[in-house]
Amino acid sequence: MAAAAPERVAVVTGGTRGIGRGIADCLARDGYSLVLGYNSDAATAEAAAAELRAAHGVQVHTVGGDLTLPTTADALFEAVTSHFGGRCTALVHNAGLYIGVTSVLDAQPAPMGSADDDWEAHWAYYHATYVMAFKRLLERAQRCEGLRHVVATSAQGCNASWGPSLAYEAPGQAEAGLEYLVRFHALRLAAQGVNVNAIVSGFIKTLAWDKLSAPEEVKERLVAAMPAQRWGQPHEIGELAAFLCSDRAAFLTGAGIPVDGGLHLRN
C-alpha cells in the first residue's frame, strides 16, 4: 500500500544553491517535503538534496532543466505527482539569472548597452524566465491538491520603491512584470484561500556575486553604503519565504516585501 503524501509539499525553482538553497533549508526545517528545480549542475543539486534529507528528515527530489522551456515546468509537477500523489501546498518561483554572469544564451548577445546589443534576445530570455515560467508553474500548481501559498523572488531596481537602473533594463522590466503578476494572482486567488507574495531581495552573499567582473572593493563599497552595512545571507530570504508559506501569513497577500537591509531606503 502506497504511503500517504506528506501534509506539506513545496516546489522551489532554483532551489539547490544560493538564495534558493536558503529557502529550501528553511522550508525543510519547517516540515516541508520538496521538489527542487535546478538548471544544469546535477551533482550540486543531488548533494543539496542529500544534505536536506539528512538534516531535516523530509523527502527531497530534484528536477533539472531550463525553466524557459514548458517541458521543465511539466517535469517539476510530474515529480509532484509521482512522489507526492499530486499534492503541492506551496510554490516558490526563485529561478533568477543575469545574462553573461550567471547564465548564457545559446547565441550570446553582446553586453547590454554595447553597440551590438541584441536587446530583443535579452528581453525574450528574461521574460521567459520570470514572467512566462511563473505563469506556467502557477497554472500547474493550481491543478494540484492543497495549494495555499505562492511566493516569487524579485530583486532591487524592479519596482516602485526604486528608481530605474541604467544597467538593468531588460531584467528589471521582466521582474517588474513578475511582481505585477504576483499582485494580479493575489487578487484572483484570495477567495480560494491562496496567498501570493513577492520577496524583493537586496545584496545577498551567494556565489553569483563572485562571477561579477567588478573588483571586490567596489562590491564592498556598495554594501557599506546601504543602511545595514553588511551582506544579507540566503537563510534571511528563506526565513521570510517559510513565514509566507505558513498559516501565520494566511491573511498577507499581494505584497512585495524587501529583505535588503534597508537598501530600498537609499536616495
The H-assigned helical ranges of the chain are 18-29, 42-56, 70-84, 119-127, 133-141, 169-189, 207-210, 216-224, 234-244
Look at phi and psi of residue 38 and say left if phi exceeds 0, alpha if psi is from -120 to 50, else beta: beta
User: Which three cell numbers mark 237?
Assistant: 530570504
In one letter, which amino acid is 110?
A
Confirm whether 1 is domain-assigned.
no
Which residue from 126, 120, 123 is spatially nearest to 102, judged by alpha carbons?
126
The reported pTM is 0.89
> CA-to-CA distance for 17 and 162, rounded, in angstroms?
27
| pLDDT per position as a tens digit, 154-178 | 987 666 666 677 767 777 888 889 9
At 100 the pLDDT is: 54
* Domain presence at residue 3: no
| Average pLDDT over all residues of the chain | 87
Q: Which of 72, 80, 75 is nearest to 9 (CA)?
A: 80
Q: What is the pLDDT of residue 143?
A: 97
Query: Within a domain: residue 2?
Result: no
Q: Looking at residue 111, what is its pLDDT?
A: 45
Q: Residue 4 domain-assigned?
A: no
pLDDT per residue as tens, the chain (267 positions): 345 668 999 999 999 999 999 999 999 999 999 999 999 899 999 999 999 999 999 999 999 999 999 999 999 999 999 999 999 999 999 976 665 555 544 444 444 444 445 778 878 888 899 999 999 999 999 999 999 999 999 987 666 666 677 767 777 888 889 999 999 999 999 999 999 999 999 888 887 777 666 778 888 888 888 888 898 899 999 999 999 999 999 999 999 999 988 888 875
How many structural domains comprise the chain? 1
Looking up residue 61, the CATH number of its domain turns out to be 3.40.50.720
Secondary structure string (H, E, C) spanning 55-76: HHCCCEEEEECCCCCHHHHHHH
Domain that holds residue 76: 9-260
Of 143, 161, 126, the C-alpha closest to 86 is: 143
Residue pair 32/10 in contact (Cβ under 8 Å)? The answer is yes
Euclidean distance between CA atoms 94 and 152, whole angstroms: 6
What pLDDT does residue 99 have? Answer: 57
In a domain, 265, yes or no: no
| Confidence at residue 156, expressed as pLDDT on a 0 to 100 scale | 76
DSSP letter, residue 191: G
Q: Using one digit for the tens of pLDDT, what is the confidence trace for 225-234?
A: 888 889 889 9
Q: Does residue 243 fall inside a structural domain?
A: yes
The C-alpha cell at 135 is 505563469
Q: 267 in a domain, yes or no?
A: no
Instruction: Tell whether 229 is covered by a domain.
Output: yes
Q: How does DSSP classify residue 93?
A: E
Residues with Cβ within 8 Å of residue 60, at least 6 apart in sequence: 24, 28, 33, 34, 36, 49, 50, 52, 53
